[in-house]
């Protein structure tokens, strides 16, 4: 049985148009409803105002089974060794062409469902995807590949992309999308006997569960990201202007919701005060440029969900309680949506949660050091 669809009409200063998104599961080149009845759904929310957008159908373990079987069948019959690398490259280039032709619509869906500013999503996310597809298309006759798993609360762009996959002529079963939560669909994938490799981007705790499930099933290889608490280290002889610019971008880009966000910033004592002055100025500028992703000039958007907003705010409160100093931000922005001010903490100690754990939000912990040895 075919799944339903949802149409949204955008009427913004930066994009005007309509987008239709299927709300089901994309398995074997078709949109289908979950196998289990009654059908469960996942509510999708606009992070800019907290309002409900649409409910998508939630898959389960049996849907994962169908997707895996479809992928294996495709690999054995129309993809894999049956399809020369040069032909696969042509498919990828065709998909890149279609993404580029629909670049504004896909960027609008990112801004609408994820909260990224429209221009950034258009040039960075969608434009970057086009470049990456064309890059891998050129390597398609080599043994290379990449997999990207969208979050269960940000599915709109991926669901729209599935239609472009069909339009590109990529054989049914090569790409499948099963909406669902980690505890159901994720667990089914990690423990599936027919899946040969799993990658996971997320926390250390969940990563342990993924690895355990992989080992307990078919000993499939696992690649784990395990959260990022990435350091930026700036010495006295650095180009201060460039250091401030890139360190700020590293933590405040996409409201800090980046796996490689530079959330710990180590600055040598000789330029520490100047660095903080410059970074605070950028944070203040971003605070003034916070708002609707479709508004021209918006540079700082919302967190992706209420749960993520609450999580980041709990880290901010933890930093305050542990004695760190809020140099800038540290509070909600506005009255609606999941916006948090660009936040800078100083007087941070190594045993604080904001120093040790991934926050995945616009929160920087700045520490002063004197020598390269860390004293």
Q: Rounded to an integer, what distance in angstroms lies between the CA atom of residue 130 and that of residue 161?
A: 12
Please indicate, yes or no, whether residues 263 and 311 belong to a single structural domain of this protein: yes
CATH of the domain at 286: 3.40.309.10
Token digits of residue 356? 């040790």
Is residue 334 over pLDDT 70?
A: yes
Distances (CA, A) of 24 to 51, 147, 196: 21, 21, 25
The yes-or-no answer on residue 225 being catalytic is yes
Same structural domain, 267 and 342? yes
Average pLDDT value over all residues in the chain: 93
Quick one: pLDDT at residue 201? 85
Q: Looking at the 3D structure of the chain, how many domains does it have?
A: 2
* Domain of residue 36, CATH code: 3.40.605.10
Q: Answer yes or no: is 214 within a domain.
A: no
Angle at 292 between CA 290 and CA 293, to 5 degrees: 95
- Residues 173, 54 share a domain: yes
pLDDT computed for residue 372 by the predictor: 87
pLDDT at position 164: 96
195, 222, 251 — which closes off a domain?
195
Mean pLDDT value of segment 246-260: 94
* The domain boundary residue, chosen from 169, 195, 221: 195
- The yes-or-no verdict on residue 162 having pLDDT over 70 is yes
- Name the residue with higher pLDDT: 357 or 149: 357
Q: Kindly state whether residues 60 and 128 are assigned to the same domain.
A: yes
pLDDT tens-digit readout, 20-32: 999 999 999 999 9
Encoded tokens for 355: 């120093």
Position 149 scores a pLDDT of 41
Query: What is the percent of the chain with per-residue pLDDT over 90, rounded to a whole number?
Result: 86
What pLDDT does 312 receive?
97
Which of the listed residues 170, 195, 220 is the one where a domain comes to its end? 195
* Residues 56 and 178 placed together within one structural domain of the fold: yes
- What are φ and ψ of residue 79, in 5° steps? -125, -135
- Among the listed residues 119, 167, 225, 357, the single catalytic one is 225
Whether residue 201 is contained in a domain is answered as: no
174-227 pLDDT per residue, tens: 999 999 998 899 999 999 999 999 999 888 888 999 999 999 999 999 999 888
Confidence (pLDDT) at 138 = 87
Packed helices 103-113 and 85-101: angle between N→C axes, nearest 10 degrees: 70
Taking only the tens place, the pLDDT of each residue in 85-105 is 889 999 999 999 999 999 999
**Helices 156-167/85-101 angle, 10° precision:** 120
Which structural domain, as residue segments, surrounds residue 181? Answer: 5-195
114-156 pLDDT per residue, tens: 999 999 999 999 999 999 999 989 887 654 433 334 767 788 9
Are 317 and 337 contacting, i.e. CB atoms less than 8 angstroms apart? no
Does residue 277 sit in the same domain as residue 180? no
Say if residue 132 is exposed, middle or buried (CB neighbours under 10 Å; 0-12, 13-18, 19+). middle
Say which range, 18-22, 155-159, 317-321, has the weakest mean pLDDT: 155-159
Same domain, 105 and 160: yes
């Amino acid at each position: 049985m075919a799944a339903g669809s949802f149409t949204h009409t955008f009427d913004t200063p930066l994009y005007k148009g309509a987008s239709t998104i299927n709300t089901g599961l994309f398995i074997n080149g078709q949109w289908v409803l979950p196998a289990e009845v009654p059908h469960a759904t996942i509510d999708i929310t606009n992070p800019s105002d907290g309002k409900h957008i649409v409910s998508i159908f939630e898959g389960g373990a049996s849907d994962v089974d169908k997707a895996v079987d479809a992928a294996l069948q495709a690999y054995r019959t129309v993809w894999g060794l049956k399809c020369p690398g040069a032909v696969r490259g042509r498919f990828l280039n065709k998909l890149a062409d279609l993404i580029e032709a629909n670049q504004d619509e896909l960027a609008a869906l990112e801004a609408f469902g994820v909260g990224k500013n429209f221009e950034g999503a258009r040039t960075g996310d969608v434009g970057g995807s086009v470049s990456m597809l064309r890059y891998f298309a050129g390597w398609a006759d080599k043994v290379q590949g990449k997999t990207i798993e969208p979050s269960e609360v940000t599915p709109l762009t991926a669901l729209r992309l599935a239609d472009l996959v069909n339009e590109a002529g990529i054989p049914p079963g090569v790409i499948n999308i099963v909406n669902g939560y980690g505890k159901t669909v994720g667990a089914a994938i990690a423990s599936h006997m027919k899946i040969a490799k799993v990658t996971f981007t997320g926390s250390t705790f969940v990563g342990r569960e993924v690895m355990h499930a992989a080992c307990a099933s078919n000993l499939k290889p696992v690649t784990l990201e395990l959260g990022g608490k990435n350091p930026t280290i700036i010495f006295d002889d650095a180009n201060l202007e460039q250091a401030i610019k890139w360190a700020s971008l590293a933590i405040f880009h996409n409201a800090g919701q980046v796996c490689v966000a530079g959330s710990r910033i180590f600055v040598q004592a000789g330029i520490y005060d100047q660095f903080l002055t410059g970074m605070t100025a950028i944070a203040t500028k971003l605070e003034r440029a916070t708002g609707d992703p479709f508004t021209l000039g918006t540079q700082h958007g919302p967190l992706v969900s209420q749960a993520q907003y609450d999580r980041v705010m709990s880290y901010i409160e933890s930093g305050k309680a542990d004695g760190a100093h809020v140099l800038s931000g540290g509070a909600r922005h506005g009255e609606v949506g999941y916006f948090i001010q660009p936040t800078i903490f100083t007087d941070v100690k190594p045993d604080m949660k904001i120093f040790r754990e991934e926050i995945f939000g616009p929160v920087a912990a700045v520490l002063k050091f004197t020598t390269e040895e860390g004293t």
